[in-house]
Chain A
């Protein structure tokens, strides 16, 4: 029994490491800032998720306790990751991006980041 759980936990840890590595490799390989923003938000999600499941299984099956901390970590991750990605993208749009490549909105209203704010 403990052999099986140990193999399961080690497999999850290896998966987590591999996806973390792929996410970091994406940072090296991809070319512009927006593409590089994809690598850590996506591939790393599964990496962190696998590490959290391994940690939960370890405390549950080996230490014999049930903790909810892993669930909380993943909830906080799902709340903060989209926000930090959104603000990185917004600051990128505000500063360096080629604005002629950004499509117009569906209505007449401008994109929030490109609208002209009156000075003063």
Chain B
């Protein structure tokens, strides 16, 4: 058996990558901003899918690790004047460590109890951010964030983000296509049977959660610097819900699904906001449509269309 990433798939990835890298040539600040932000939310959604699509548990509190990464990095950079590298590493580590502790409790549970416990922990994080005014500036938002001079420029930050995200996605791809990744899918598919082929299922689910926390932290660190501020909303459950919808929209049974979902939902939000203020309504309709008609998301829809119109035909 060979790699599932076919030659066409590989070529498609490469083309998208090059197109992204060329964005600054178009001299459009708007476009650079959009692509930067999409890259960040895409990593956030991909990280969540390690828990949902790969380990088979739904987390309603993934924003917690995103926010911790963002806040810790922002505070260390700004309040304590740390250099970028140790500060960013500390941010990611804080997110990872919190995820490790939360996952220790959550992976004792499954289904709705797991989901509710992730939500409870994330609300705890939100409450701490909200109340600890001296450190986080509470609901006024932690702003401005001191962004190091090296990346304190739209194009420089774009390339910085792109490198970090591409490396992160590559690492995630390897993890999900490793012995661990495939065993994790077995855990998702049938926990009982996985246990009885000798897989330590709780340990696997814990590990998946920690990995997800790590990459959510990475996304959070980038997000805080991109917006030059962190806000309590980033830790709120609505943020967790939004990334969950992105993941579902793209498709949880595919590695790149959440990335597509993130890009589409982000663009839809931008476009909708230009014409109407009823984005939440549009979002609700999208969510309904996925859950009722397309539970395996846009990727599933794409596959169905491809099958219908004669499989391998050139587009």
A binds B: no
